[in-house]
Chains A and B, each alone.
Chain A
Amino acid sequence: MGFKDFCFKKSLWLFHFGGASCNNCDIEILDCLTSRYDVERFGMKLVGSPRHADVLLVNGSINKRDKKRLLEVYNQLAKPVLVVAIGACGCTGGIFAEGITFAGPVDKIIPVDVYIPGCPPKPEAILAGIVKLLNKK
């Protein structure tokens, strides 16, 4: 077992960064954590500080103001870390890609491991994405 496998073997802790989004993706992420989908049974939970996280969930288009902060958060994360871009906005910028404040989709700013498209992706899709991520790494 390599070092990376060892790091992601058990309970993944998530840090959620919501960029300039419409909040639907954020809410679907929270939905994953509440009763019906309940990812906490796999030991996944949201943590308050990026320093504690194994996975960074990014959703929403990134605007000029967020860009600096996203980088800052990414630099604070303890590596190795997995980055998940959630929603059409996270993957490509979605409907806001032509906006005047748009500063590039997530993968132009930090490396992304998994893209979960959808507007918003259903909680099932988010779970499926994370499972894929775990199998792939």
Chain B
Amino acid sequence: MNEKKVIPIGPYHPLQEEPELFKLYCEGEIVKDVKWETGYNHRGIEKLSESKSFDQSFFLVERICGICSTSHPFAFANAMEEIADVEVPDRAKYIRSIIGELERIHSHLLWVGLAGHFLGYDTVFMWAWKYREPVLDLFEMISGNRNSYAMFKIGGVRRDIENAKIAKIRGVLDLVKKKTDLLTGAIMDDPVIHARTKGVGILSKQDIMDYCAVGPTARASGVDIDVRRDDPHAAYPLVDWKVITAQGGDVFAKAEVRLLEMYESIKIIDQCLKGLEKEKEGKIEVVVKNIPAGIGTGHYEAPRGEVFHFVKTIGTNSPARHKIRAPSYVNIATFKKSCVGQTISDAAISLAAVDPCYCCTERMAAVYDYGSGERMMNGIELVEKSKRRTEEIRRNY
């Protein structure tokens, strides 16, 4: 029975920053090793950025990742503002934080939905994606586009959030809060979800340190890091909020951290809206005419963890060097710890827990490698397996 299997996941799964090919090496049911290949999504952004002006670069970094399309401009703006040594007006700070937190809400809802899908709870998937839509509508109202908002520029933001729109934003937040309660209830109190996620894909505090993991992945293992608090910028020092951590390190803890973070985001936005009401409309940027030669670093806590941008300028109007580090890049390495030794059906959710969110539907066909006798399984089979397991547990409850 000890047929050696290789399970390729990818390379084309849409919900990840970089489509990658994962290979799970299995003996029987147990995952023995994980390997991954990158490069399917390489677009040469760092190089492209060197050929664009600073203003154009914002549109480019926004398109590094569609889900985090505020986080990269946020970090880039922080880096550029360090070089130009400007302080953005308070109104712009509030708007930046509002956009960043709205993005966190929609990204976490997206994850909750996908995690539900991987466990065989398509209801959660449909619910979460349905309640994500009002948030996207807000983005459309504020910026004119559902994703890729183009809100950032050096020294401020491109568009104001007029005070007349605040009531609408509050309305949507109330709705999202109610629906988050619903989702939290559906996930936290379900014995089957407990059975599927507790004790699965555990990452200890030491593992997080070893692999330099960031974001909710780290916070779920009790590592208390959050760039928004540790390096205060934008409106985060002006409002009252707390960093959510959990101790378990398993998939359940990661879900818990994300769900509770959504409440914190709602709290932050609410306070930022209060701040906006006090400020005068229209003061949303300081004009920056020249970017001197220099070196700047900027980071921001994206929904998946710390985004880091390094920019070097030489007095021209485009970056001389632009280095980007995205959170998934480090988080993905933790698969070596979280998946090895698990069963295949748990591997699907352990991989998804980090939120590289590979989507199941468009894998390659199953292939038999006659040369080595390795049987390959595709993503759909993998998800099927995971769903079967949930089904079994559900029957036993």
A interface residues with partner B (beta carbon < 8 Å): 15-31, 34-36, 46-51, 60-61, 63, 65-66, 69, 76, 95-96, 98-102, 119-120, 122
Contacts and interface: CB of A to CB of B under 8 A. Distances in A.
Contacts of A61: 43
Interface stretch (B63-71, B276-284, B294-302, B303-311): B63-71
Interface string B107-143: 0001001000000000001110110010000000000
A35 B126 contact: yes
A119 B242 CA distance: 35
Given A31-B133, A120-B66, 7 more contacts: A20-B42, A24-B63, A30-B15, A35-B133, A66-B40, A99-B44, A120-B147
Contacts of B64: 22
A36 B66 contact: no
Contact of B380 (A20, A26, A48, A120): A48
Contact of B63 (A46, A51, A95, A100): A95
Interface residues of B, number: 47
B70 to A, nearest CB: 12
Contacts of A35: 126-127, 129-130, 133
Contacts of A15: 362
Nearest to B133: A36
Contacts of B146: 28, 120, 122
B362 A46 contact: yes
A102 B43 CA distance: 7
A20 B40 CA distance: 6
B53 interface: no
A24 B66 contact: yes
B66 A23 contact: yes
Contacts of A99: 43-45, 47-48
Contact of A63 (B13, B14, B41, B69): B41
A27 B67 contact: yes
B371 interface: no
A18 to B, nearest CB: 4
B17 interface: yes
B365 interface: yes
Contacts of B13: 18
B233 interface: no
